[in-house]
């Protein structure tokens, strides 16, 4: 049996960020500096870390960024007024509203209020429709990053059977559509799918995005398949750790040090069955911020009628 190929998401993300930095430098010669507004409501530690990482990356690549931090008590009306002001600003090309929002804020209404031309998360119904119909659009960052992993790793997509496990609006549905545009034959599965394992075993490309730790087991993977593991699940229980990582001395050392580790939606033992796979961490995750930066530059170009 050949050794499964690890698809290094960190390296691919760094390549994309270098390309974005070059585009930003080129736009600067024409007096254009793409700008991203990041809206972070309240104090959710994980969200704060994530948003600050996005702002930091903007600075590294030469993009303008602005972090806006409304209080936890903000109302839907106040947030809508904020979005309207950002929609009107010429120096802002991308608007990012970090989820989750407090319960009193109507998140759906807010996301739909963002100008589709500045919707760098790719969540607005207009962009969803454009992605579906194959028009130039801002595609959701994680699915777009997964396509980049496949392309830049020289892995085929056309005419292959792709199975997507998970039907979320953020990952499952859009990655199915993007794979379809790449001429894969796509099956979408979910928690109510009959004989899910049989569907998975027929996949040349298997996307795991169901949000359940280690859900995809070795017997569900076709030998030689490409696995894209989107899951990020925190493991704090020793028994659960042993179920996934027993015998992994390096992982155990880190687990004992931090009291936790993360596992994807694919059981780590299943990677060995594959031909290529994205690890967790350092797989799909790093592409999300890289593609957010790429989307911000893309939005800046589309808004000005420049070729993308």
For tokens 């760094």, name the residue: 14
Residue of 128, 204, 208 whose CA lies nearest to 170: 128
Number of H helices, E strands in the chain: 11, 11
Please tell me which residue in 93, 98, 119, 229 is annotated as part of the active site. Answer: 98
Catalytic residue status for 98: yes
For tokens 């880190």, name the residue: 254
Catalytic residue status for 15: no
Q: Which two tokens stand for residue 230?
A: 């989107």
Please tell me which residue in 93, 115, 121, 204 is annotated as part of the active site. Answer: 121
Q: How many CB atoms lie within 10 A of CB 118?
A: 27
Q: Which two tokens stand for residue 100?
A: 């989750």
Catalytic residue status for 29: no
CA dist 174 and 162 (Å) reads 13
Long-range contacts of residues 239-248, Cβ cutoff 8 Å, at least 24 apart: 240/213, 243/214, 244/213, 244/214, 244/268
Q: How many CB atoms lie within 10 A of CB 15?
A: 13
- DSSP bridge partners of 47: none
Taking a C-beta distance cutoff of 8 angstroms, is the pair 86, 64 a contact?
Answer: no
Enumerate the active-site residues. Answer: 54, 98, 121
């Amino acid at each position: 049996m050949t050794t499964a190929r690890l698809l290094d998401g960190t390296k691919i993300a760094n390549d994309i960020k270098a390309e974005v930095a070059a585009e930003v430098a080129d736009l600067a010669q024409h007096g254009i500096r793409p700008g991203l507004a990041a809206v972070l409501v309240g104090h959710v530690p994980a969200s704060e870390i994530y948003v600050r990482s996005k702002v930091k990356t903007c600075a590294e690549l030469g993009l303008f960024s602005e972090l806006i931090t409304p209080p936890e008590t903000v109302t839907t009306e106040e947030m809508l007024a904020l979005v309207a002001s950002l929609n009107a600003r010429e120096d802002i090309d991308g608007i990012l509203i970090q989820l989750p929002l407090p319960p009193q804020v109507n998140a759906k209404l807010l996301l739909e209020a963002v100008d589709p031309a500045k919707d760098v998360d790719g969540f607005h119904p207009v962009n969803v429709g454009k992605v579906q119909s194959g028009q130039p659009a801002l595609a959701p960052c994680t699915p777009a990053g997964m396509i980049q992993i496949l392309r830049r790793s020289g892995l085929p997509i056309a005419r292959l059977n792709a199975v997507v496990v998970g039907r979320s609006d953020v990952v499952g549905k859009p990655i199915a559509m993007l794979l379809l545009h790449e001429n894969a034959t796509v099956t979408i599965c979910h928690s109510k799918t009959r004989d899910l394992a049989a569907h998975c075993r027929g996949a040349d490309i298997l996307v795991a995005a169901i949000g359940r730790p280690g859900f995809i087991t070795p017997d569900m993977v076709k030998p030689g398949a490409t696995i894209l593991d989107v899951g990020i699940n925190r493991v704090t229980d020793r028994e659960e750790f042993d179920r996934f990582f027993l015998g992994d001395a390096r992982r155990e050392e880190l687990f004992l040090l931090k009291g936790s580790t993360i596992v994807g939606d694919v059981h780590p033992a299943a990677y060995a069955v594959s031909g290529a796979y994205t690890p967790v961490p350092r797989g799909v995750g790093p592409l999300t911020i890289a593609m957010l930066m790429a989307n911000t530059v893309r939005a800046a170009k589309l808004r000005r009628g420049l070729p993308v």
